[in-house]
Structure 1
């Protein structure tokens, strides 16, 4: 009986976030799909598509930093993506653990065909977490990145 109780206590002491973080698909579905849709296609004029874009944006160090910064800080203001205008607000996801944010971003970077990409690390997210940026300032960051490396 004592052994079972000890085993149960050990299982309860393992952080739930670590078990969940390995599944970027589930994390995306529960945190992002209500706006960006379950397949990442978005809604033109309302919520930008992520499918086929995040991996391309993250192909440069500056792009990878930008994607992580958007996930952590959100974005607010007018942007144009693939000819569609968006003037909305994406909330920050700082409440998620670093491994969860990395898992979501790797899932999205692998869309549409998967498997999840291995672009974003926990260290990338942890480093960006220390550089808080206002959601409205992310629009300027996007414009600067687009001038440096045209965004898809």
Structure 2
């Protein structure tokens, strides 16, 4: 009985951690992983004018095509370097790779960001989409080239 009392705070804390991380819905997982990994720079999704591009209201628009979805997965898996234009504003930055995250976590982040755009039918991402691209790593400059090619086909917001 005494031993059980000593373990009670540890067990309560462990159950709390499991409830926050392991039992979350896909949306909550995406939001949590976004905050911990992306929100440091992109803040609530609005970015920082001239330094960090905004994400809110753009990810769902980019993800409306298969090429756009492919590009977004590549950005998270491989990072992105160089200048770009987002919502008419110029940015020149370097984003790191988040390859350390699982396929499920990356898919959840992209689904969360897509849903934050306000569309009634936001595109969603699956872990299988990410896994298929993980096998073919790219350098961040190659992802920038992919962005330029995509922008020529489907102008990016």
Q: TM range, normalised to the smaller chain?
A: 0.7 to 0.9
| Counterpart residue number, 1:25 | 31
TM-aligned CA deviation for residue 136 of structure 1 = 1.1
Distance 1:116 1:105 in 2: 14
| Cα distance, 1:62–1:111 mapped onto 2, change above 3 Å | same
Distance 2:23 2:133 in 1: 23
**How many residues were matched structurally?**
139
String of CA shifts for 1:111-149, please: whole Å, max 9, x gaps: 144899552111100011011110011111101000011
TM-score by length of 2: 0.80
- Name which of 130, 150, 156 aligns with 1:151: 156
Unaligned runs of 5+ in 1: 1-7
| Counterpart residue number, 1:104 | 109
Deviates more, 1:81-90 or 1:113-122: 113-122
Distance 2:123 2:85 in 1: 27
Unaligned runs of 5+ in 2: 1-10
1:129-148 equivalence runs, <5 A: 129-148=134-153
Question: Residues 107 and 116 of structure 1 are in contact (CA less than 8 Å); yes or no, is this contact kept in structure 2?
Answer: no
Deviates more, 1:109-118 or 1:42-51: 109-118
> Is 1:54 aligned to 2:73, yes or no?
no
| Cα distance, 1:62–1:114 mapped onto 2, change above 3 Å | closer
| Cα distance, 1:81–1:107 mapped onto 2, change above 3 Å | same
Alpha carbon RMSD of aligned pairs, Å?
2.4
1:2-151 equivalence runs, <5 A: 19=23, 22=26, 23-38=29-44, 40-113=45-118, 117=122, 119-151=124-156
Distance 1:19 1:127 in 2: 26
Runs of 4 or more, structure 1, over 6 Å off, are none
Distance 1:100 1:116 in 2: 21
